[in-house]
Every structure is written in structure tokens, then in C-alpha cells.
Amino acid sequence: MSRIEKLTPAQLAELPAYRDKWIRIGFCTESARRADAENGVRAAYAEAGLKPPRFFVWFGSPFTAAIAVAVLRNPKLVSDQVIAQVRAQVSEMFWWLWGMWGSFDAAWLSYYDVFDNVLGLQCCKRLAGLKQIAESCGFWWPLEDICVMSERPMQIHRDASGRLHCDSELAVKYPDGWGVPAWHGVRVPEDMILAPQSITVERIEKESNVEVRRVMMERMGYERYILESGATLIHSDEYGALYRKEFGDDEPLVVVHVTNSTAEPDGHFKKYVLRVPPTMERARQAVAWTFDVPEQDYAPLVET
């Protein structure tokens, strides 16, 4: 077989359809097609030279499915304290690393779909079972004589950049209620999304994960945080007030507190707290940065 150096115009024209197909699969929020998924599992077992499972057990999320798998692999966990013990074994990454990804295998399966059906290589037929599973359900765990299966998410929220994000509920939610809270792609504790009013300065300053800490400050609100955290006022003028808060393991938080020069319909002037680069030293400089103009050219009378 000769080496393929580049795609033909006809082949290139086919790629968007396969891209869209597998994006739909990866972000599908429809209920699992259980019969199709189970047939895909049987095909995958057979291709691997294994006896297909006799039993399929379905769960409403990969989290509850992973707990079931932990119990199946270690029956000693079944005791009076089963929930606590199982939860201790099912770490945050448990189901991501151990379980098969199902619909979330879309990224790599899309390549082989193109190899077979666009390039005509017909070299990936052994993946037919995995493709069928990805098109039909969520995570799954192949065990001896039994296969543990999970539903697909019932909802997935993303921001404009495609990152998992929702400011009012779980970014990914499964039928049994379990899900993933996320803020612009950062996985965060659930209460940071559902109860941001519970965030305190003490909790923020004890948080060791820099990304999560930044989200906490954003959710709490920079204005409230600088007032309650003892941030240092480093400069003020007629353009605003510049505050700075130091962190030992991250860049400083620097914000400028400004008042909108245009009155609202009721006559009051809105106040804003805007995060700016830690290199800012003067309030006018910081406000000018937010308008992407040099400090010497900034003139609030021409704000829009």
C-alpha cells in the first residue's frame, strides 16, 4: 500500500461531516440506546477473543456505576459501613481512568472512522463494537461475565469557548442527579456553583488549588473580597482606586474600583471592580488598560 501524502479535494470535503457526527456523539444528551450498546459490547468482547458477558447492569451515572464496580471487585466492601468505604475507594479520577469512556471516546474513534470511510483503508474494522457503544451510551466497565453500563449525561453546559461551564447548576448532569460542577473549564466544589454566598475569605485563602481559588474570588465578587480580605489600596485618583492582594503561590490580585461616568436611567452611577494585570501601578493606568488605550490617552469624557 502506497503512503498517503495528502488528501484529495473530495476527501477534504467529506471531513466536516465526520467532525460534526462525532461532536454530536461526544456531546449527546439523549437516553442510552441500551440494546445497541449491549450488542456493541458483545462485538467488542468477541473481537478481543473473550466470552461475551451474560449480564448487563445499568446505572444512571458513571459515579454510581463505579461504586458498583468497586463492590463487585471487592465484595469485602459490603458491610455496615459500605457507603463510606466505597466512597473512600472511588476517588475523583476513579471512573475517568478505569472505566471505558463510551460516548466520550468520540475524539479518537473519529480518526478511525475517517481512515475507514474517507481514506478507504479498511484497517479499523475491529473497532466496530467500540464505535457502536460510543454511539449508544456513556461509560462502561467490562468485567468477566458481567458488564456495568452507565447512562449518558442528560445535560451538558459549555461556555462560548467550548469549556464546561454553568453558573447556576451542574455543568454536566446525569439522570440519577450526579454531575460535574465547572466554571469556565475548571472543576470546582458543587457549592461554589449552587451556593456561592457560602464562600468566605477564610476558605479562599486556605484553598491550595490556584485555579479553584481564582474561581472562588470571582464567585464571591472582587468588590466584596477586597473589602473583607484586607487588600491594600496602592493608588487612587479621580479615575478610581487600585487595590492589591498578595498570594504566596500565585500572582497578586490587582483590581481597580471605578464608577461609570454615564448615569443610569434612575440617575445613579454604577460602580465596577475590574481585575487588571499585576503590573498596574496607578488607577488611571489600570482603567486605561481595560479600554485597551495608553494611559496618557485615556479620557473618561469619551467613554461609551
Q: What is the pLDDT of residue 100?
A: 85
Q: Any idea which of 73-82, 141-150, 170-179 has the lowest mean pLDDT?
A: 73-82
18 and 143 share one domain: yes
Total domain count, the chain? 2
Residue 40 near residue 109 (C-beta atoms within 8 A): no
Q: Any idea which of 42-56, 132-146, 159-173, 264-278 has the lowest mean pLDDT?
A: 264-278
33 and 144 share one domain: yes
Report the residue count for the chain.
Answer: 304
Q: Note whether residue 1 is domain-resident.
A: no
Closest Cα to residue 285, out of 233, 232, 239?
Answer: 239
Q: Note whether residue 202 is domain-resident.
A: no
Residue 71 pLDDT exceeds 70 = yes
129 and 262 share one domain: no
Residue 103 pLDDT exceeds 90 = yes
Residue 287 near residue 237 (C-beta atoms within 8 A): no
Q: Note whether residue 244 is domain-resident.
A: yes
25 and 136 share one domain: yes
234 and 127 share one domain: no
242 and 143 share one domain: no
249 and 135 share one domain: no
Q: Any idea which of 15-29, 99-113, 264-278 has the lowest mean pLDDT?
A: 264-278
Q: Note whether residue 298 is domain-resident.
A: yes
Q: Any idea which of 61-75, 232-246, 272-286 has the lowest mean pLDDT?
A: 61-75
Q: Note whether residue 185 is domain-resident.
A: no
17 and 147 share one domain: yes
Last residue of a domain, one of 96, 129, 152: 152
Q: How many CB atoms lie within 10 A of CB 267?
A: 6
- 200: confidence class by pLDDT, cuts 50, 70, 90: very high
Q: Note whether residue 217 is domain-resident.
A: no
Last residue of a domain, one of 131, 152, 173: 152
Last residue of a domain, one of 133, 152, 171: 152
Q: Any idea which of 66-70, 103-107, 116-120, 233-237 has the lowest mean pLDDT?
A: 66-70
Q: Note whether residue 27 is domain-resident.
A: yes
For residues 156 and 153, give the distance between their C-alpha atoms in angstroms, rounded to a whole number.
7
Q: Note whether residue 218 is domain-resident.
A: no
- 91: confidence class by pLDDT, cuts 50, 70, 90: very low
Range of the domain at 57: 9-152
131 and 41 share one domain: yes
